Structure 1
């Protein structure tokens, strides 16, 4: 009986530890937890204070892909789903292809805005995880997005390359 009770307590503690953080810092931007999905792909998305998933300018996301241990497999499925506007630029972080960073643009179906995306797909602890930073601007302010990308692209890629699961969970 004590063993069962101990296992229940341990399981509950691990669930609490895996809860998403409400606040995450990235490039001097404070992000607030905005959305979570725990279905087949576990997803947590964060936006800046005062913004929503409908009007964000910067987005940070953390995903887990249970049942997958190869980033290339997840990347193929992901790119089919999101349909980047241009072919992604690939930055391989290691020789084993277990840690890959992609940089690409996505245009909204209604052409209202453009997103600059940096995605890191990495095999960690037996599963694939992804870390995403995106900057978006609506077409009327597109030059501002271009200026921001020119100024910060290299820094953002480096910061995404250092993100870890612990940055997003308790």
Structure 2
């Protein structure tokens, strides 16, 4: 059984539908955000429950071949996207696996699946945005919530949103001062 606050070396063997990597430490499933299948990490255990635990990657010892440099200045703080650290091909494989798992393991259904069709573009493709507003130091800020919180991470532009969304966001902020 892993111990809280201890660091273990582990290989990430899967990804959850929430985007966390999964490894096993002393036989227990440990969920580690912002990791990729194939990463070998130093994982610090931060919370232990009865049958699983949560960890954070203290160090990527050997990066996965799927790992890429994210091109977003707030990715590590923001909760707007979860898989910016893996290649688009790996993201598609992951999402296809999540859908298959939902049908087969969770639903007990085994349909024949059509071929997975990826997006034509990996940027500016989202057609919906929700930007929470907050007041910091007497000024309005707008962005996305940090993971598992209601703390607003200010964002001026998101590479997943059409550019006009940033223009609208800026107009809202300009009129709120």
Q: Which protein is richer in strand relative to its size?
A: 1
TM-score of the aligned structures, taking structure 1 as reference length: 0.24
TM-score of the aligned structures, taking structure 2 as reference length: 0.24
Bigger Cα Rg: 2
Where relative contact order (Cα < 8 A, 6+ residues apart) is larger, the structure is: 1
